[in-house]
Structure 1
């Protein structure tokens, strides 16, 4: 795991602010999306459709979004690093639903992708970054990022 940690991408603050803004915009529902590194080195987040029946407590990615992302990666337009979602009024740690959703037959959900959870509480956004551990057969938290504030959250609009 230590070797893998040295290869973790350093997520730019502007990317985290974009994701925090998405979490704020979709509150009190869970938001979901991905983050990409484009062929020119630029980072971006991409908001995806949450098609879950109970959006306040869960997220489900639209399969059409997944196909589009994989196609763009195959064409060399970007590298799809990971999936993010928010936990409104909860910390950014794996919920029981996340564990059940992400781990199927001791294999990772969306292999090779990192998982980022944005915990949105009292106008503040904290993040936890998760990576699949082959030895433990589960996702493990590899980085905590605290107190990310987007423009809307900081101005109260």
Structure 2
């Protein structure tokens, strides 16, 4: 279960709408226990997807050669991940997940999303249709590296 505030949801949805028609992305910082995650901070990041990423990640999904762009892929730069991880650790927080948007597609993970996902993380996907955020869901990987829906509980922080 992922516990968060309505402010967190608004931050993610606003970021997704502001980057449309490209995908947005960002990090979820908080506390992780055995069965729940408490989101403390949403950290919007730049979508660093570029042409070089196509070559690097071609092995993940080679079915759409040449069709990858920021409209349907996202990437968080390694140096951004490292800086966020150090900053979180200094504040006694962890990276507990990643969020991104799907432009004009449902808030359901793609095969690409699954292939790059890490165990224990929450993956929030927000669907943005014609510039408006319309659906938001969270997912986690099971022991077979398949996405399962994750319950979102909106709490007062």
Task: Name the TM-score, length of structure 2 as normaliser.
Answer: 0.72
Query: Does 70-79 or 28-37 show the bigger shift?
Result: 70-79
Contact kept in structure 2, 1:127 and 1:144, CA below 8 Å = no
Q: How does 1:1-157 map to 2 (within 5 A)?
A: 8-37=1-30, 43-53=40-50, 54-102=69-117, 109=118, 111-122=119-130, 123-134=132-143, 136-143=144-151
Contact kept in structure 2, 1:35 and 1:44, CA below 8 Å = yes
Taking a change above 3 Å as real, the CA distance of residues 36 and 100 of structure 1, as seen in their structure-2 partners, is: closer
Deviation of 1:12 (Å): 0.9
CA distance, structure 2, for counterparts of residue 14 and residue 80 of structure 1: 18
CA distance, structure 2, for counterparts of residue 137 and residue 95 of structure 1: 13
CA distance, structure 1, for counterparts of residue 134 and residue 18 of structure 2: 12
Deviation of 1:64 (Å): 0.7
Deviation of 1:34 (Å): 1.1
CA distance, structure 2, for counterparts of residue 46 and residue 74 of structure 1: 14
Aligned to 2:58: none
Task: Name the TM-score, length of structure 1 as normaliser.
Answer: 0.72
What 5-or-longer segments of structure 2 have no aligned partner?
A: 32-37, 51-68
Deviation of 1:69 (Å): 1.7
CA distance, structure 1, for counterparts of residue 92 and residue 110 of structure 2: 33
Deviation of 1:96 (Å): 2.5
Taking a change above 3 Å as real, the CA distance of residues 113 and 100 of structure 1, as seen in their structure-2 partners, is: closer
What 5-or-longer segments of structure 1 have no aligned partner?
A: 1-7, 103-108, 146-157
Other structure's SS at 1:10 match: strand
- Using CA pairs under 8 Å that are at least 6 residues apart, name the structure with larger relative contact order, 1 or 2: 2
Aligned length: 128
Deviation of 1:62 (Å): 0.5
RMSD: 2.3
